[in-house]
Structure 1
Amino acid sequence: MDFVCAQAGRPASALTRRDVARALLAVPSGVALVALPDLRRAMMSAGNPLSLAFWESAKSTLSSIEAGVATVGDVQRWVESTGTEPILMTPSYFVWPEEDERGPVATEMFARLVAYLEERVEAGEIDPDALATGDQDARAAYEELQERWLGTPLPDGRVPGFAVSDEQDEELFAAWDEEEAFALSELRRIMAELPKQPELPVAELTAAAGRLRALLALPGYPANVLRACAGFGDRPVPDDDVELWLAVAAGVAGPISDLSDGEDMLEEFADLDGDLSDEDTALANLCAIQHADWLAGVAALVRLGPGVLASPERMARLIAESEDIDIDEQDDDDLDATEGLFESVVSLWRHLGIVDQDEVLTPLGWWGLPKALERAWTPSSE
């Protein structure tokens, strides 16, 4: 009992089913099973006996854990059946962060919801015994109650669900910016250490820019993907050849926008059995490549110089063998996955003249790839 009270931060008379369940899960299941009868008697002595349905559900769940047959979902569902544990993922797909990953806002909102659910239990709006016995109507009502709370503004105007999601987005963007800044510093270090700096091949750039302008004026793939990558849907195509080429090349490494939304696009994504279009596949692949992979691949190419093979298979191998990034040992599946992502990259590089028709790095690619990465990773404020 002392352990449970310490875990919950409450006296025995105020302990909830959730408090007891969490304390039981904080120790090995065998220990919890042995302690269960004494704990139940101690709760009765404290005037807080809980219910037979709870104790039976606790014994059943702990026994399943001890036997090795309980899943994580089973255990989570049991804790939720206490009536005051927020649902990890609601029917509308709101997901609470793991306890050790919650920021201040998520921690606050989670605690607020627990307190709100405790009030609803006291008011008789939540029936924990029905939840413990698997009553579907009780479960549906429990989920609806939480959905409604997450979408209802607090007195200070914050909407709990949005506040938590916004905090998670901010954390994600901050981590992304940190990773990008590190990749940029490493790229600049690698370029500064090159024995010979790449020079702009003016004739190649002029020819590539001319081909690119003609391509961007066309409908369909790959023009629509290149326009989206460079953000030309919201701004005109630059007149300057260098600016045009670098904008598109940087966009391949860091797409600025997506394809325009439309009814046909929504229907396509709703068709789970259908194949992705070339456009969607290409953009998905570009967005899935990590900063470290871009850094490792491009660093290897600029060190090797024009004439090196830059096929998707070769890019995957260069990344796996790179000493510029920390990477676990790659198996065939990892290499195949990286190769699949770079199939879209190399295909687009061909239109830019970064590689030739044989997927060999050109002098233009040697000069432009590091500049394109630097442009993609440099904050707009710089």
Structure 2
Amino acid sequence: MDLDFVCAHAGRPAAELTRRDVVRALLAVPSGVALVAVPDLRRALLAAGNPMSPAFWDSVKATLGAIESGTATVGDVQRWLESTGTEPLLLTRSFFVWPEEDERGPIAEEMYRRLVAHLEERVAEGVIDPDALARRDDGAREAYEDLQEHWLNSPLPDGRIPSVVVGDEQDEEMFAARDEEEAFALGELRRILAELPEPVRPASELHRACVRLREVLAGPGYPGNVLRACAGFGEGEELPEDDEELWLTVTAGIAGPISDLPEEDDTVEAFTDLEGELGHEDTALAALCAIHYADWLAVVAALARRGPGVLASPERIARLIAESDDIDVDLDDPEDLEAAEMLFGSVTPLWASLGIVDRNEILTPLGHWGLPRALERAWSPFD
């Protein structure tokens, strides 16, 4: 490693290199190699008219030495990089987080470059003092954080607010990835179901289940409030008159909840109490939202193949996921099995309210007939 390497890594001539350029280049090679290269690199920069400061080189030796000895944490290294004065903060006070370098979209990449340029201008103007940052001066660090926070949340000349447009781009990417995953899961579900015989529609069992379901949905508290949220039924909204439509809507909602629980007077207070715990209903709804498409596919495909009478307890469901040939998942770790079991521990009581499983958590003919249809509905795009 030498000055030519740093220049190539930064894409700048030696006279224009910043502290950030040097640190990023040093971090791009093993710490031992970087330590050996530091003296020659320092002399080469001095000869190029870009000597940097003793405080900077002291921080270089101290941090590289800590990395080499294994005592430096990831946070220590990040803080060192940020102390160069032109590195965007990994996490701001408003909890803005930049995407990883290889995951940034065009907008995030543009805003990141703009911020780096903005910080370089502030260093040149003397607004940012990199030496004070290198010495871990608390006041300099606070001012550095304030400056970045202000830039991220202030309009650019074209009116865009950096933190907003980066967040919007990330949301769009997340939604696109989710839609792609959902479409793939739906295709796999339909392929699997096409290979199986068509179950008989249990009309009388469906009607009895809907009589109970209407009572549950009309009542206060759990599980009615969670099922209403899953199905997207608002307060006072009339339920579908058709039994099949009602049952499939609610069952599909368990695999893809449509709305949150209605807010109550103490909702804000409960969520601002950081030491408090979520209520049972909120915990159940959060668990439903955390279950992956692949897990739903593995479970429903396995139950569809096995038919009525199979055990569908949370423990068995976790094992069905682990043993599934329909998805590529590794649940051999006991902690992963426990996590899957915990998530589906919120599903099976709701299934019992719909007659999908009986009191012994055994799959019923209604569950065998309706679960695949409900899952297909949950994953099908709206017209």
Same structural fold, with TM-score higher than 0.5 when normalized by the shorter chain:
yes
Match of 1:331 in 2: 333
How many Å separate the matches in 2 of 1:219 and 1:380? Answer: 30
Contact 2:331 2:337 survives alignment (8 Å): no
| Structure-2 residue corresponding to 1:225 | 226
**2:148 maps to which residue?**
146
Aligned to 2:70: 68
Identity %, equivalent residues: 70
**Alignment root-mean-square deviation, CA:** 1.1
Structure 1 residues 277-296: aligned runs within 5 Å: 277-296=279-298
Alpha-carbon distance in structure 1 between the residues aligned to 2:28 and 2:35: 12
Q: Distance in 1 between matches of 2:230 and 2:329?
A: 28
Which structure 2 residue ranges, 5 or more long, are not aligned?
Answer: none
> C-alpha displacement at 1:20, in angstroms?
0.7
1:18 match: 20
Deviation at 1:332, TM superposition (A): 2.0
Find out whether 1:177 has 2:152 as its counterpart. no
Cα shift at 1:76: 0.7
What do residues 97-154 of structure 1 show as CA deviations (whole Å, max 9, x unaligned)? Answer: 1111111111110000000000011111100000000001110110010010001111
**In structure 2, distance between residues paired with 1:268 and 1:140:** 31
Instruction: State the partner residue of 1:197.
Output: 198
| 1:311-343 deviation digits (Å, cap 9, x = unpaired) | 111111111111111112422222111111111
Structure 1 counterpart of 2:252, from 245, 250, 272: 250
Distance 1:24 1:291, change over 3 A: same
The superposition leaves residues 170-209 of structure 1 with CA deviations (integer Å, 9 ceiling, x where unpaired) of 1111111111111100100110001x21121111111111
| Runs of at least 5 residues in structure 1 that lack an aligned partner in the other structure | none
1:273, CA displacement in angstroms?
2.9
Alignment partner, residue 345 of structure 1:
347
SS of the residue 1:73 aligns to: helix
Matching residue's letter, 1:202:
A
Counterparts of 1:317 and 1:24, CA distance in 2: 47
**Aligned AA (1:298):** V
Paired AA for residue 220 in structure 1? G
Whole-Å separation in 1 of the counterparts to 2:136 and 2:263: 42
- Displacement after TM superposition at 1:233 (Å): 1.3
Q: Contact 2:86–2:119 (CA<8 Å) still a contact in 1?
A: yes
> Which residue identity does 2:176 align to in structure 1?
A
Rounded to whole Å, the distance in 1 between the matches of 2:261 and 2:42 is 60
Look up the equivalent residue of 1:113 and give its one-letter code: L
Counterpart of 1:210 in structure 2 is 211
The aligned counterpart of 1:53 is: 55
The alignment partner of 1:344 has SS state of coil
1:265 is displaced (CA, Å) by: 1.6
Question: What is the deviation of 1:287?
Answer: 0.7
1:124 pairs with one of 123, 126, 147: 126
Cross-structure match for 1:86: 88
**CA deviation after TM superposition for structure 1 residue 215, in Å:** 1.0
Is 1:113 the counterpart of 2:115? The answer is: yes
Output the CA distance in 1 between the equivalents of 2:284 and 2:209: 21
Alpha-carbon distance in structure 2 between the residues aligned to 1:186 and 1:218: 37
Deviation, structure 1 residue 262: 4.0
Q: Give the Cα–Cα distance (whole angstroms) in 1 for the partners of residues 32 and 335 of structure 2.
A: 39
Please identify runs of 4+ aligned residues in structure 1 that moved more than 3 A. Answer: none
- SS of 1:285's equivalent in the other structure is helix
User: For the structure 1 residues 86 and 276, does the alpha-carbon distance in structure 2 shift closer, same or farther, using more than 3 Å as the test?
Assistant: same
Normalised by the length of structure 2, the TM-score is 0.97
